């Protein structure tokens, strides 16, 4: 996982999801795509229920709303797919993330970051790396490796119910 720089800064890409603002390390981002046809993978976990064709490679498309218990929403013209590359089990893995809209590349300050509080939050704590206050807004930094590693370990749901 990318660390804060010595100056206590972190360059991130911020995006909107279910009315909240999320951020992920800018160095992870490979590409930002318009929506494209997706193919459902029967039996896969709902967090990454489909795949897309990313330049001839077949990559999973993850919907972080599932991890944060948000209700699925219709795609809009602002919807984008952010393709990131994560190291999972020492293996680089490309993953597409569905977002409601992509905002900007911003610099977060460690001084403004806080560990997720134990109460007052409806999201699972272990899905969050930290919360960062920025200009009166609260930005959520999800713990992506943790999220997807549990997915690899757990595997999909059985195909036949």
Partner 1 sequence: MSATDPIAAFRIEGGELLDEVEQALLDMGHRLDDMDLVNAVFRGLHTLKGSGAMFGFDALAQFTHHCESAFDKVRKGVVPATSQLVAVILSAQDHMRALLDGRATGGEAAGDDILAALEAAIAEAAGAPPAAPAAKVAGQGWHVVFRLPADCMANGTNPLMLLDELRDLGPCRIVALTDRLPTLEELTPTHCHIGWDVTVETDEPASAVEDVFIFVMDDMELAITPLAVDAAEAPADPANTAPVAAPATAPAAPAAAAPPPPAPPAAAKAAEHVRVPAERLDELMDRVGELVIAQSRLSQIAHQDGGLALRSVSEEIERLAGELRDTMMVLRMMPVASLFGRFRRLVHDLARDTGKAIDLVTTGETTEVDKTVIERLFDPLVHIIRNSCDHGLEKAEDRVAAGKSATGTVHLSAHQAGGEVLITIRDDGRGIDRARVRAKAEANGLIQPDQLLADQELLQLIFAPGFSTAAQVTNLSGRGVGMDVVKRTIESLRGTIEVASIDGGGSTITLRIPLTLAIIDGLLVRVGSGDYVIPLSAVEECLELSGEEDLRSQGRSLITLRDRLVPFLRLRDVFATGTPADPHQKIVVVATGNDRVGLVVDQIIGNHQTVIKSMSPLHRHVGSFTGATILGDGSVALILDIAQLVALAQPREERLRAA
Which is nearer to partner 1, 91 or 111 (by Cβ)? Answer: 91
**Does residue 102 touch partner 1 according to CB under 8 A?**
no
Residue 65 backbone dihedrals phi, psi, to 5 degrees: -55, -35
CB of 96 vs partner 1, minimal distance in Å: 10
> Rounded CA gap, 153 and 135, in Å?
38
Task: Please choose, out of 14-22, 63-71, 110-118, 150-158, the segment that lies near partner 1 by the rule CB under 8 A.
Answer: 150-158
**Does residue 146 touch partner 1 according to CB under 8 A?**
no
- Give the sign of the dihedral formed by CA 108, CA 112, CA 113, CA 116: negative
Give the pair of three-digit tokens for residue 28.
């992870």
Q: Scanning residues 53 to 82, which ones bind partner 1 (CB under 8 A)?
A: 53, 55-60, 62
| Strand 137-142 relative to strand 128-134, pairing | antiparallel
| Strand 91-99 relative to strand 57-62, pairing | parallel
**Does residue 18 touch partner 1 according to CB under 8 A?**
no
Task: Please choose, out of 24-32, 87-95, 105-113, 131-139, the segment that lies near partner 1 by the rule CB under 8 A.
Answer: 87-95
**Does residue 2 touch partner 1 according to CB under 8 A?**
no
Q: How many CA atoms lie within 13 A of 142 on its CB side?
A: 26
Task: Please choose, out of 46-54, 64-72, 103-111, 130-138, the segment that lies near partner 1 by the rule CB under 8 A.
Answer: 46-54
Task: Please choose, out of 9-17, 37-45, 64-72, 112-120, the segment that lies near partner 1 by the rule CB under 8 A.
Answer: 37-45
DSSP 65-118: HHHTTPPP----TT-EEEEEEEEETTEEEEEEEEESEEEEEEEEEGGGEEPPPS
Q: Which residues bind partner 1 (CB under 8 A)?
A: 36-37, 39-45, 48, 51-53, 55-60, 62, 88-89, 91, 93-95, 148, 151-152, 154-156, 158-161
């Amino acid at each position: 996982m990318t660390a804060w720089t010595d100056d206590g800064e972190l360059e991130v890409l911020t995006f909107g999801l279910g009315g909240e603002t999320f951020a992920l390390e800018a160095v992870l981002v490979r590409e930002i795509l318009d929506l494209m046809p997706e193919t459902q993978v029967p039996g896969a976990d709902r967090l990454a229920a489909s795949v897309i064709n990313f330049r001839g490679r077949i990559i999973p498309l993850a919907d972080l709303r599932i991890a944060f218990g948000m209700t699925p929403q219709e795609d809009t013209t602002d919807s984008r797919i952010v393709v990131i590359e994560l190291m999972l089990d020492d293996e680089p893995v490309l993953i597409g993330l569905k977002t409601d809209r992509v905002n900007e590349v911003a610099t977060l300050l460690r001084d403004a970051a806080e560990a997720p509080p134990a109460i007052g939050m409806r999201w699972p704590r272990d899905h969050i790396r930290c919360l960062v206050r920025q200009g009166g807004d609260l930005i959520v930094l999800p713990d992506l490796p943790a999220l997807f590693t549990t997915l690899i370990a757990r595997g999909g749901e059985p195909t036949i119910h």
